[in-house]
Amino acid sequence: MEAYRVLEIKQSVFENNDREADKLREELKKDRVFLLNLMSSPGSGKTTTLGKTIAALKDEFRIGVMEADIDSDVDAAAIEKTGVKVIQLHTGGMCHLDAGMTRQGLEGLGVQDVDFAILENIGNLVCPAEFDTGAVKNAMILSVPEGHDKPLKYPLMFSICDVLLINKIDVLPYFDFDIEKCKEYVWRLNPRMKIIPICARTGEGIGEFADWLRSEIKAWNGEA
């Protein structure tokens, strides 16, 4: 039997998503919960990255994961194996999560015993960028096979994120991916973006991401 719940979340009724997102962030601040929103294209390696990141941090933080998907439970089943609390959110076809939907997810997960909550958003570089989920920080993954030109084509996503993980660097020899050009494109849109090359499969670079998260979580809790 699975240890995770599946929650069908409903479209939000709030007219002003930005206001709802700010309200959610204030509540998270009060409750000392750090919420990370993780976004990428389908197949960039969000779940594998998450698994390795959880392994690096689960002895320091009480972690809770919300796996958003249109239909399947594949990701919750994978994360469940790490031993942390996880809930599968089904969006019923919706291509993104907004603050109201994220709130439903957090209520379903239960954050009274969580200090680090993670939302794995729908695999999509377009729509999730347009909706503030209420997360404290936004992270994104771009994988090497997708190409270094993606910041030119999906500029909003690269503009609203705080950290970019360039994943699958182990296959750099087989692809035409110019990491310096990628950084240049990203920083032109978003000069403050933290960029970390990683290989989620082998764990390379996950330590640096964990360091970044650790320091952001401390800052959020006023311990920096």
Interface with its own copies (CB under 8 A): 41-43, 69-72, 74, 93, 95, 122-127, 130, 143-147, 149-150, 152-156, 168, 170-171, 174-175
What's the closest the beta carbon of residue 47 comes to its own copies, in angstroms?
10
Closest approach of its own copies to the CB of residue 43, in Å = 3
C-beta of residue 106 within 8 angstroms of C-beta of residue 149 = no
Question: Closest approach of Cβ 50 to its own copies, in Å?
Answer: 15
168 and 143 Cβ atoms separated by less than 8 Å:
yes
If the CB atoms of residues 127 and 210 are measured against its own copies, the closer one turns out to be: 127
Strand-pair category, 5-8 with 34-40: unpaired
We find the least distance from the C-beta atom of residue 22 to its own copies, in angstroms, to be 22
Query: Based on CB atoms, which residue is closest to its own copies, 6 or 70?
Result: 70
- Report residue 116 as tokens: 């680090």
Q: Which CB, 33 or 68, lies closer to its own copies?
A: 68
**Residue nearer to its own copies on the CB measure, 6 or 156:** 156
Helix (H) or strand (E) holding 13: none
DSSP SS3 for 68? strand
Residue 144's contacts (CB-CB under 8 Å, 6 or more residues apart) are 166, 167, 168, 169, 171, 172, 175, 177
